[in-house]
Every structure is written in C-alpha cells, then in structure tokens.
Amino acid sequence: MSAVSKNELKYDNSVSFPNNNTGAITPADLRAFNVDLIDSTVNQTIYTAESASFNTRIVDTNTIIDGLLITASVAGDVLTFTKENGSSFNLVITASVATIPWDNVTSKPSGLVSGSSQVVSILNPLNTFSASQDTKNSTLATYTGSVDTKFSTLGTYTGSVDTKFTTIGVYTGSNDTKWNNLGSQSGSFVTESETGSFARTNTTNTFTATQTINADLIVSGTINAYQIVTTIESSSVIFSSGSNILGDATNDTQTLNGTVRVSGSQQITGSMNIDGDINMVNNSNLVTHHIKAQGSNGLELQTSNGTNIVQMGAGGGTQAAFVGAVTANSVSASTINGLGNPAAFSSSVDVRLARTATTGSNTFNGNQTINGTSKQTFAAPGDNTQTDFISVTGVNTSGKPYNYVNFGFIDYGGSGGNFDDSFAFECYDSTNYNYGSEITLNGQRVDFAVQASGSARVSRFSMRDLYTGNTFASLYADDMQFGEFSGGTATRIGIGHTALPTLQLKGQNIGVTGSLSINGNTIVTGSVRGNVRTQTITSNTASLDFSTTNFFELTLVSGSDTRVEATNVRPGQTVSLKVTQASVVGGTLTFSSQFDFPSISPYTATQSGSAVDVLTFVVFSNTGSIYSAGVNNLR
C-alpha cells in the first residue's frame, strides 16, 4: 500500500463503502482502506525508535486504529458495524424507502402543483367558460325572440293585405256611385238591365258576343272583318274607284263558281291550274314563256274543229309528234321554225325533219352541241361483243399510225379478267394489237397496259379486289422509275432486264413492310439502322420476337428473376439486347435452352444500380441454337 492524497481517500471511502445491503463491504476492504489511511497520515521515515515524539505518535496512531471500522453486517433491518478495538454499534433502517419532507428539499423545480389551491385556480377558468356558454345560450334565446318578432311582422303584413282588400271594397263603392251618375245622363246609349253594361252612340264600342240585327245595317265607313258569310245573295254590285284585294297570303283559296268575265289585262304571278280548255277567240294571241302540261295526253295543239296538229309529252314522254300529214297549209312558219320554208314545203323540209332525233337509232353528221346533261342508258352487250361510244380516226403519234382508237364497253372475259364487262379505252395500230396502249375498268379491277412496238413486251399496272377482304396490286416493266427527277437523275428500279442488272434506290426514305429478299450483292452507301424496341416483362418472362426488330431494350425488376425467350427465329439473324439493372439492385436473368453461352464464363446480370449490359445473339442454320455473348457494366 502507499500514501494517497486526501481527495483519493475521499474517493476510496465513497466507492469502497456502498450500502451494505448485499454484503459488499468485506473485512479485506476495510483493512485495505485503513492501511491507506495509515500510510497517508503517518510518515514513519521521519521518526526513529529513539524519538520520544515517535512513541507519542505511535500511541496516537493506536488510538485512531482502535476506532476504525473493520466489519459490517446486516440482519433484517439492523446494520451492525465492528471497530478495531472490538466494540460495535448498530444502525436501524425503519423503511425500505425513506420519506423526505417537501419543505426540507431545496432548489425545487418550478411549475409543479404544490397544493389544492393550484388545482382550484385551474378549474376556475373552466367554470368561467361555462358561464360564457350560458351567455351564448341566452343569446340564442334572444335570437329566438327576434324570430317571434319576425313572425309578428308577418301577421302585420297579413293585416295590410286585409286593408288592401278593404280598399278594393271602397273602389267597388265608387263604382256604384259612377253607375248612379249614369242615370242622370242623356238617353244616347243603350243599357241592359241584367248587367248594367251599355253602348254609347257617340264613342267606340267593343262587343264580345254575337250581335243580331233584324233590319238593315248601313255603314258609311269601312267594314274590317276576318270573315263574311252570306246565306242568301240574289245580286251583288260592287263599285270601286280603287283596287281590291282578295286574301292576304299566297296559300289563300278564292272560289268563284260560274263564268268569270275579265275586261282588260289579267296578270297571274305563280302557277295556274286549268281543268278544262283555254279558248282563244276573236283572233286573240296566247303569249307565254312556259307552258306545263299534265296528264297522259301531254300538251296538244289543235285546229278550230278540235283536230290535233302537234302532241308533246304524250304518256309522260319528252317527244313532240306531228299528228297527220305535215303540210304548209296545216302548219304555220312559227310552228316548225327552222325546218325549212313551209310555204313552199320543199324537199329541204323533209331533209331537216329526217335529222330530227327520235327514240330509235340516230346518226348525226357534223358537230353537236349539248347544253346541259346528257345521259345514256344501255344494257351490257353480252359475251364476246362490245358497244362503242366514241371512235376516232386518223390518229398519228410520234410518226406511228394508230388506226384503232376507240372507247366503249366490252365483254371478252375469255381473254382475261380485265376484259370481263369492262369499260375500255384502246389506242392501237389496228385490231391486230401489234403495239399501243389501253385502260380497262370494271367492278373488280383497273388495268393500265402498254405494248412495245417491235416486240411483244408489255408493261402493266394492275389493281384488283381479291374478294377475300384483301386487295392486290402488281407492276411489271423492263425499267421502272419512281420519284421526282432532279438533275437528270431519278429513283430507278431495274428488274429482269440485262441493260439494268442492279437495283438502285435514291431519294427520300424507302419503307418496306414485310420481308425483303435480295438475290445478289447489296452495296449500301450510307448507314443501315433498325428500330429499337422496348421489351416488356409479362409473368416474369421477356419474350423477344425476332421478326419485329434487331434491337431490344430490357430493364430488370429489383428482387425479381426474368426469364428470356425468343420467338420467330430465322437463320442468319443477329440481334442485340441492352439490359439495364434496376436502380435498386437485385434483378437477375435466366435464359431458355435456345440460348447457348460460353461454358467457361456464362453471362450474369451486373449487380450494380442502373448498370448497363449488352448481349449479342447470332443464329445460323439451326434456329434452335442462338449463340450468345454478353459484355457487362458498360459506362
């Protein structure tokens, strides 16, 4: 042991001597503490055995040692301490938890409830709040009172209504006074005892019921009436120095029975229907711009004895027919104007009459002008026949004669579907069809054809309905050019001709839907690219359709394994797949047995957030083996 400082002794005393409830204070601990205490208070090196003061200090030390504690024990609630000199003393613990009076506590925390007075001070505001609630309830009661007041106001309003009714009664009384005053008036009015109503002769009157006059009615002014009905009229004479109007609308009907004689001119605006005859007498003339005939007989021109001369539109038709012999004596110049000189009725009349169109076949010599619509209806000509509409002679193009130029309707189905009940525009050297061109059109197809002079080679463009819900178009030619000429160069396609053995595509984008097979070498000046398709994952499976594109993109799902399969695999394909890891890693890939990876280092997806891998698939003749390789973690 050694001497220690005073502070160290205090620390040792505090640490080594806790409450001895569990017997932690042992004799060894007490002896060690006492030794430290002795070594700290007695410096033996400065004393000698011969020194009297040394002896005195030894006595003092023994006295101190006799008072030191060496043991402590617990029995129930009694703690016993034993000193070095053998004496002991007890400490009684009256409770397991000591109670300290609140008044003996210093530095108390603020804000604590110290007594019932504080509780009361908290509850008082609540009571005050309840009082305010009572005040509010009282206010509600006051509001209810105002509602009662409003209802009272309604009652007052009802009273005013009664006053108004009373006022009406007063007005009725004034009416009585007014009626009484009528009795003192002159007798220039008519009264009716039942109702007290009257009509005055010196003012305007309005009658709302039927008035019966059993004598004459003499009116020196104007009668305005919506309708006048007469029961018996023996004679009527109307004289007027002005104009008269019957009706006020175009849909009014005026009926006059008997003979109507009109002296002077008669002007009719609109249509006039006559059920009977129009007789022009005393050398009168009928001047009109338009006459419309109705009925099966049409419009007839007759002689004075009723004999028809000209009948037009008979049976609803559009022809004009001369009835009987046409002579100069029976038809005037105005009737057959343009047919020749009818006075002499020369042979020129017969010639011109022969040129008049009829319902049969007609031949026109010279130019014909049609102002309006011309419609021709005919039946299909029948098998192996044709109906010609227009034929042109004397055609010469670029020094080549074309002696068969015709437009018509043909039916030569045995020569091809384009000649089966078709309109045909033909321009050939002759009916031998050595060279020329044609256009045929029917309900199923349209064909354009040109046959080269000096050979049997034909260029043809055909479009047709397959009657299967699909259409078909074909183009045949030795040299086909598409697009717009620019600087003497056009997009050109050469097919099946020794002069143009290659295929050239120039100009803008050229799209091909479906498969494109090329036999021979292909030289591309520029770039070739494919569409990039984003691959979806369905039921943890990504199915790559090799027929849709050569470039796929696939994003993995965190914590999920995706199986990759391939469909529509063809020999000679090369397909690339970009794999992007999920931002939160954990997505993996497995492949179907179609894919063959290197056995030494098979591909696994990079386990790094948003990492990018690229895989390449190559197919040879065996479509069941897709040779695969991958590059990981590209940046």
456 and 410 in one domain?
Answer: yes
Selected residue with higher pLDDT from 151 and 10: 10
Which amino acid, 374? Answer: S
CA distance 416 to 40: 138
Closest by Cα among 27, 125, 152, 7 to 83 = 27
User: Residue 44: inside a domain, yes or no?
Assistant: yes
CA distance 282 to 23: 167
Task: For residue 278, name the pLDDT band (cuts at 50, 70, 90).
Answer: confident
Q: Side-chain half-sphere of 249: how many Cα atoms within 13 Å?
A: 3
User: Residue 180: inside a domain, yes or no?
Assistant: no
What per-residue confidence (pLDDT) applies to 121?
Answer: 57
Task: For residue 341, name the pLDDT band (cuts at 50, 70, 90).
Answer: very low
Q: Is the pLDDT of residue 163 over 80?
A: no
CA distance 429 to 396: 9
From 335, 355, 375, the end of a domain falls on 355
Q: What angle do CA 237, 240, 241 make, to 5 degrees?
A: 150
Tell me what the mean pLDDT of segment 282-299 comes to.
68
Q: Which two structure tokens, joined as six digits, stand for 617?
A: 């698939």
Q: Which two structure tokens, joined as six digits, stand for 129?
A: 């709040």
Tell me what the mean pLDDT of segment 23-43 comes to.
72
Whether 296 and 311 have beta carbons less than 8 Å apart is answered as: no
In sequence order, which residues have a C-beta less than 8 Å from that of residue 512 and are 6 or more positions away? none
CA distance 400 to 426: 15
627 and 536 in one domain?
Answer: yes
Count CB atoms within 10 A of the CB of residue 298: 19
Which amino acid, 233? Answer: E
Report the number of distinct structural domains present in the chain.
4
Exposed/middle/buried for 606, CB within 10 Å: 0-12, 13-18, 19+? buried
Domain containing 56: what range?
6-98
Task: For residue 579, name the pLDDT band (cuts at 50, 70, 90).
Answer: very high
Strand partners, 578: 553, 614
Q: Is the pLDDT of residue 322 over 80?
A: no
Tell me what the mean pLDDT of segment 609-623 comes to.
95
CATH number of domain containing 592: 2.60.120
User: Residue 610: inside a domain, yes or no?
Assistant: yes
What per-residue confidence (pLDDT) applies to 619?
Answer: 96
Q: Which two structure tokens, joined as six digits, stand for 84?
A: 């070095």
| Single pTM value for the model | 0.32
- As a 3-state breakdown, the chain gives helix, strand, coil percent values, each rounded to 5, of 20, 25, 55
Task: For residue 99, name the pLDDT band (cuts at 50, 70, 90).
Answer: very low
User: Residue 412: inside a domain, yes or no?
Assistant: yes
User: Residue 307: inside a domain, yes or no?
Assistant: no
Q: Which two structure tokens, joined as six digits, stand for 506?
A: 């120039």
Selected residue with higher pLDDT from 69 and 595: 595
User: Residue 565: inside a domain, yes or no?
Assistant: yes
342 and 391 in one domain?
Answer: no
